[in-house]
Amino acid sequence: MGKILAIALNTFKEAVRNKVLYFLLIFALLIMGFSSVISDLSIAAPEKMVIDLGLGAIDFFGFLISVFVGIYLIYNEMERKTIYTIVSKPIDRQQFILGKYFGLLITVYVNIAIMSIFFFTVLYFREATQPDVVTKAIFKELGPGKFESVGNYYVYHVQAFFIAAGKGIATLFGYWEPITHHLLRVVFMSAMSLAIITAFAILYSTFSTPTLSAVFTFLTFIIGNLCEDILRYADKLAQKAGGVAQLVGPDKMKYWFAMVATHITPNLALLDKFSDAVHGPWDAKTPTIHSVPIDWVVVVYGITYVAGVLSLACLIFNRRNFK
């Protein structure tokens, strides 16, 4: 365990030196900041825009980080031959794979945490700088239509930003307001799906080059996202032919291919709670916020899936010759 941790921490140290990571992170933060501007263009439901874009950015950029950082981790060790010294040490190869996986996961999760804090900060700051809130905060109403200025506009904004940032950090530890209601749960589920994708990135990089690994991981991500659509497509094929038994020729092949593909790739849509965050049913306790239930079966599914993929990665890596 201590050796896995040592490898994981070293992997994290290596990953944070990857420039791609910072480009992706900065881009994600820009998008979140920009979502506030975009929402002003909308004539209704501006919060929906900010939340949609923010959650989407966290998920997608988390994915990109896990791919672009992950595919190089094992490859670099082989290319630079540092793996020689690691393998000759008294550790198992699976300890190495697990160490790399957890190191990458730590990197991805630290980034998700940063993006989430920024996202919550944007939401709280948006809330605090609504014209009515600002006016209430910096003017005192003396009578109908009579106001007295009690605060500075700019000072208020700077203050609001820091308060929002503080609340944003607190939100990561369970604090919430109606605007951020159950968003942390959505992020949690996103993180779960990223754990699966990260495992795939590691799996592919145990036997192929970075470019191919990236392509494979992207394909897995796409098929995983479209899992349910592909299943529906297969069902439609069967329905058209009048039953699975009636399928012939290429249709039969397509059907079974789709069936296999949907059953072995992860169904990432199970872990997608974006829609619930904006349109979900009302919470039973607090009827003004949408409830995002955590489906523990799905969480168990995610964990077992990761374990399975990592076992396969270890199997491949254990038999691998390093030239």
> For binding to another protein (CB under 8 A), which residues are involved?
2-3, 6-7, 10, 13-14, 17, 38, 41-45, 48-49, 52-53, 56, 59-60, 79-92, 130-133, 135-136, 139, 144-145, 208-212, 221-222, 225-226, 229, 268-269, 272, 274-275, 278-279, 319, 321-323
Residues 6+ apart with CB under 8 A from 303: none
| Closer residue to another protein in complex, CB, 127/251 | 127
* Distance (Å, whole) CA 276 – CA 294: 11
Q: Which of 69, 62, 112 is nearest to 221 (CA)?
A: 62
Nearer to another protein, 168 or 224 (CB): 224
Shortest spacing between CB 5 and another protein, in angstroms = 8
- 174 vs 321 by CB, closer to another protein: 321
Q: How far is the CB of 310 from another protein (least distance, A)?
A: 20
Nearer to another protein, 130 or 286 (CB): 130
- Decide whether 60 or 176 has the Cβ nearer to another protein: 60
Give strand pairing partners of 282. 290
Nearer to another protein, 58 or 202 (CB): 58
3-class DSSP assignment, residue 142: strand
Under 8 Å between Cβ of 115 and 20? no
Beta carbon nearer to another protein, 16 or 241:
16
Stretch (H or E) spanning 139: strand 139-143
Q: HSE-up of 88 (CA within 13 Å, CB side)? A: 6
In this structure, are residues 131 and 63 in contact, taking their beta carbons and an 8 Å threshold? Answer: no
Please write down the HEC assignment for all residues of 65-89: HHHHHHHHHHHHHHHCCHHHHHHCC
3-class secondary structure, 168: helix
Q: DSSP string covering 225-289, please? A: HTHHHHHHHHHHHHHHHTSGGG--HHHHHHHHHHHHHHHHS--GGGG--HHHHHHPPBPSSSTTS
Question: To the nearest whole angstrom, how small is the minimum distance from the Cβ of residue 248 to another protein?
Answer: 25
Task: Judge contact between 71 and 217, C-beta under 8 A.
Answer: yes
Query: Considering the complex, what minimum distance in angstroms separates the CB of residue 120 from another protein?
Result: 18
